[in-house]
Amino acid sequence: MEAILLCGGLGTRLRSVVSDRPKPMADIAGKPFLHYLVKMLSESGVKHLIFALGYMGEQIEAYFKSGEEYGLSISYSYEESPLGTGGAIRNALSHVSAENVLVLNADTYFHTDYENLLAEQLKNQAVMTIASRKIKDISRYGAILKDETGRILRWNEKMSLNEEKSPKPGEINGGICVMKKSLIEKIPEGKQSLENDCIPAWLEDGVYLQAIPSDGYFMDIGIPEDYAQFRKDIENGTINEEVS
């Protein structure tokens, strides 16, 4: 498998923790957050990893180098100015050789079956298959609404709390998807948000996008509270990972 890791965000909400490094390089038990993510990807069958880099991206390249230590090869795609998630994926296209490629947010650890995600993409002839996660409160993330087959009908990357201001359960984008290379080629060059520009436009055009739920461990370290929780989960063994 081939994968693109989106590492170009500025990490403003986690700036108090990572002022001197890109957010995915935040320290977790003496190693960067990305170490745990790259290790999981390698163990899941990813052989070629493409880092889509922006802010302080050279720190990531200096740490991971060729990828040999992780049993995979690594390519690096740099953006000269912030391109957004969609723009970063399009910018990395020259490094993509597979017909279908995994795309992941580099600040999210979501343990799911990547092989199954790809299999569902091929079986249903979808051009994009998102790994979704059911959670108790979608106010920070937004919701995916789909039919009984998994086809996405409505997409709201961000939604407010309901009128009672109480937590609202739902199914969210887990920050992982499989995309056909031909779909990436349709992303306009320049600044594009995959979530706010590309996906809504594709749905409006009737493009077949689907979501496959997973109940694997999920943590987005975008805010200090969740960053602290991930550190705790690594240190107490909630996540099966060697930290020595």
Amino acid at 224: P
Q: Which of 31, 158, 191, 232 does the annotation list as catalytic?
A: 158
- 59 class by beta-carbon count within 10 Å (0-12 exposed, 13-18 middle, 19+ buried): middle
Q: Of the candidates 232, 102, 116, which has an alpha carbon nearest to the alpha carbon of residue 179?
A: 102
Q: For residue 93, what are its two tokens?
A: 């296209």
Q: Half-sphere exposure of 188 toward its Cβ, with a 13 Å CA cutoff?
A: 9
Contact 221, 138 (CB under 8 A): no
Contact 170, 137 (CB under 8 A): no
Rounded CA-CA distance 49/82 in Å is 21
DSSP assignment letter at 84:
H
State yes or no: is 191 an active-site residue.
no
Q: Return the active site residues.
A: 158
